[in-house]
Structure 1
Amino acid sequence: LFLKRCRVYRYADEAWKERGVGEMKVLVQPQVIPDGYTSGGRDVLPANVSLNNVQRARLLMRREQVLKICVNQPIGIDIPHFTPMGSADNSMCWVGEDYSEGSATHEKLAIRFKNASDAEEFQAAVQRAQNYLRNSS
């Protein structure tokens, strides 16, 4: 649903620490692929294509060059809940269970995009994934 370059930070030891730079993805796993749609690996699902029976959705990001996973979070019907970071309209933060280190840990994360339109697209893609999950349950 979404694929853009960004920076992710985590809140640790009373400060924001950079977790990585790379492409954030909003991924969904439908039970059935829509008729006539063929994906080419890095394609973003167009807004006019709707999915039914979505089993799972998640946020996934790998660090550039080393390709280590730095964000791996499930998307639920009501999580993540984004809050703006100060007056910057190109960044937001949220709290969630992150599985990038193997086991689940509750972390406060922040994401920063190059411009505000990318941040709005990201938030819209997460809401779209949440709507698919809501309609599938």
Structure 2
Amino acid sequence: MDPHGDDDEQVGDDYNPEQEVFVGEGQATLPQLPVQTGEENDEEVAKFRAKIYRFADAQWKERGVGDMKFLKNKQTNKIRLLMRQDKTGKLIANHFITAQEGFCKLSQLKTADKSWIWTCYDASDEQPKVWQLCVRFTSPEEVERFKTEFEKAYDSNKALQEEVPKNE
């Protein structure tokens, strides 16, 4: 039997495949489910409005605009940087502020005074990868505030990293 109606079977005289059919009051009732964001065990340390770029294919490519947050894990006290794109909520930056050689050292972008660049092991895509990121702010005050918060997070994570061998 062809589901598209090319057979000789009668469906009914008043059948119209283009017509919408409502049963009941026309409203669906769906149970409200809690949304897991992965931020439940984190405490927000600082938040910024920014645009973020990633260096790929020998050029800076925009990742999106949104709220960039420094989040401190309640159990481990490690601080990470997380950013979601406005409207879609897509993860566009997610990495720990790592105190490793070559990672998370801020430097100013030579062509823009309201931007910072750094290298990190970003896990915002399906496969974590080392990327060079650039963030751009609207005001010089936000640029300096970001630098201060980033360096505080770096120092805090570095101190936590140095404590681990002593406790083992």
Task: Report TM bin, short chain.
Answer: 0.7 to 0.9
For 1:6, the aligned partner's letter is: A
For 2:143, the aligned partner's letter is: A
- Report the equivalent of 2:60: 16
Counterpart CA distance in 2 for 1:130 and 1:107 is 17
- Report the equivalent of 2:94: 72
- For residue 57 of structure 1, report the CA deviation from its aligned partner: 1.0
Counterpart CA distance in 2 for 1:2 and 1:55 is 14
Deviations 1:95-136 (A, max 9, x none): 111000132101111100001111111111111122323344
Contact 1:62–1:68, Cα closer than 8 Å, also in 2: yes
- Report the equivalent of 1:89: 113
- Report the equivalent of 2:124: 100
Structure 1 length as normaliser, TM-score? 0.76
- Report the equivalent of 1:28: 72
- Report the equivalent of 1:5: 49
Counterpart CA distance in 1 for 2:73 and 2:123 is 18
Root-mean-square deviation over aligned CA pairs: 1.6
For 1:103, the aligned partner's letter is: Q
SS at match of 1:89: coil
SS at match of 2:113: strand
1:113 to 2:137 alignment: yes
For 1:113, the aligned partner's letter is: F
- Report the equivalent of 1:55: 77
Counterpart CA distance in 1 for 2:113 and 2:141 is 9
Q: Which consecutive unaligned segments of at least 5 residues does structure 1 have?
A: 32-53
Q: Which consecutive unaligned segments of at least 5 residues does structure 2 have?
A: 1-44, 164-168
- For residue 30 of structure 1, report the CA deviation from its aligned partner: 4.1
Counterpart CA distance in 2 for 1:133 and 1:96 is 14
Counterpart CA distance in 1 for 2:55 and 2:155 is 28
* Higher normalized contact order (CA 8 Å, seq sep 6+, divided by chain length): 1
Counterpart CA distance in 2 for 1:133 and 1:92 is 20
SS at match of 1:88: coil
* Structure holding more strand per residue: 1
* Number of residue pairs the alignment of both structures matches: 115
